[in-house]
Each structure stands twice: as C-alpha cells, then as structure tokens.
A and B are shown apart, each in its own frame.
Chain A
Amino acid sequence: MINLMNKKAAGENIFSIWWVAIWIVIVAGFYVAMYMYSGVSISVQNIESDILAEKILSCVSEQDNLNQKVLQENFDIYKECGLSKNIFEKEKPDFYFDVLISDESGKLVGKEISGGDIEFKIGCSISNKVNSANYPTCSEKQEKLWHNGQQVNVKVLAASNQNGKREAIGL
C-alpha cells in the first residue's frame, strides 16, 4: 500500500515537472520571438539609392545643360553635390555611385566619376538577376543634356547596402 502511494506521488511529481517544462518552452518561445521581432529590418535601400542617383543627376546638370564644372580636371563631386566624402571613403562604405557621360556615338566624354565601394558595381549587375539581402540595392537614372551644342547622355548608377544597427549610446 505504501509502495503504491509512493509510486503515485512520483507520478504527480513527474506531472508537475512537465508543467514547468511546458511553461519554460512558452517563455523561451516568447524570448526567441522577441529577439526575432527586434531584429526585423525595414529596408529603405531602394529609396536611398534613388535619392542618391537623383541628387547626383541634379547637380551635374543645369536645367537642360551639362554642368561645365563636371568636365574640369579639379571637379569635386562631393563638394558640388553636397555629399559627405567621409561616408563614401570610409573603410567599408555603405554606398556607391558612378557617373558616365557619353556622346551620341557612345564615346565617353570626360572621365568616369565614382565613389564608395567599387564592388557594389558588380553587386548591382547581380542583384538585378538574383534577389539576395547581401547584394546592394541599386538605382540607375539617365538624362540627355546639352553640351557644346551636342546632346550627351548622362548615366548615374547609385547603390546602397546600408543596414542600420542597434547599439549602446551615451546620450
């Protein structure tokens, strides 16, 4: 009789351990869900690359004409377009841009102007075919402008691969 009661008590203990185990799983699931929830990223890279391309295009043009400064040897695109040189030239930049000016025959006018992570250029050609979070989001804008009575084609490629982050702050 005593043996039977002991067995019953052991069975009840096991049952209560299962309860605790189930609650632990629920709480652990909650923490995992919260961790995943806090890590959710809202992508604005497409808007960012669009803004960058538009910004560069508007500063290399003057209404329908090509900004003559663009073809000068000492042209500083960062100063002219109000871009931060430090952001584009830091160790691992999150952005890239490339400006190509060509005449009607496709011949390059002046030199190619670029800044940021050059690897994004290859990434842009891949990201058009493969959808992956590791590749940058790119924006390409073109405009026909007048230069010395001839039409030139200005092509701007801009890319962003910026992922913001949560970090400790010292406000």
Chain B
Amino acid sequence: MMEKRAETNILKLLIFTIVTVVLFSCILYYISSSAGKSFIYEQVYAKQIALIIDNSKPEMAVSLDISKIAEIVGKKNVDLNKVFKIDNKEKKVTVSLSGSRGYSYYYFSDYDVAGKVTNDKLLVIQIKGNQND
C-alpha cells in the first residue's frame, strides 16, 4: 500500500517536472526566436532609418542591410516591400513585421525621401532634396 502510494507520488512529480521543463523550453524558445525579437527589430530599424534620414544631405542615397528583417518576414510570410513605410507628409518611419502593428519614429528633416528594397536584401534610402525647395 505504502509502496504504491510512493510510486504514485514519484509519477506525479515526474509529470510535473516534465510539463514544467516543456513549458519553460517553449518560453525560452519563443524569446530567443525571431518572433520574440521582432519588437526589438522593428524599433531598431525604425530609429536607425530616421537617424539616417536626419543625418543625410540632399541627393544622397544610403543602403541599409536588412537581411535580419528578411529572415524574420520570410518565416512569417509577410511581403518585405511592405515592412518599411516612409511617410513624407508626416515625416514618419514605420517598420512592421506583422503587417498589422508597427513601430513608428519621426524624423525632423524636410526631405523628400524614398525607400526601396532590393533583391540583395538592402533598403536603399534615397534623399531627393528639400520638400520646400
């Protein structure tokens, strides 16, 4: 009777340990996966692009490596061309890796800016000149 009870308790403990380990593994996998990092990538790229625009001069073109972003959107089936949005009217850069929500950051320069994604995973930011010229 006592032996049977001890066996049941060990079994319960084993199940509990396995479930906990699996749960924690899933959490750690999610955090370390691309999906878990997408919040950070959206923010980093939005701020980086805004700073590039503000630090540029008219008629400049800057290429930005977006291979990390391409890797994430490839897994999520999101169109890479729709990830980056540069709003010339509002002076706002938005980066969205989900398609529904994105991270937005403003730039203060009055440039006419165009962003184009190339096949070799580069975002070419073209500063065409001052809008008020």
Contact = CB atoms under 8 A, between A and B. Distances in A.
Contact of A42 (B43, B85, B106): B43
A66 interface: no
Given A42-B43, A51-B51, A83-B110, A169 B96 contact: yes
Contacts of A19: 16
Given A42-B44, A166-B101, A55 B27 contact: no
Contacts of B111: 82
Interface string B92-133: 001010011111111111110000000000000000001110
B101 A171 contact: no
A26 interface: yes
Interface residues of B, number: 41
Given A44-B47, A169-B85, A52 B108 contact: yes
- A-B pairs with the 3 shortest C-beta distances? A164-B105, A84-B110, A38-B39
A41 B40 CA distance: 8
Interface stretch (A85-93, A135-143, A149-157): A85-93
B39 A164 contact: no
Interface of B: 12, 16, 19-20, 23-24, 27, 31, 36, 39-40, 42-44, 46-47, 51, 54-55, 58, 82, 85, 91, 94, 96, 99-111, 130-132
A47 interface: yes
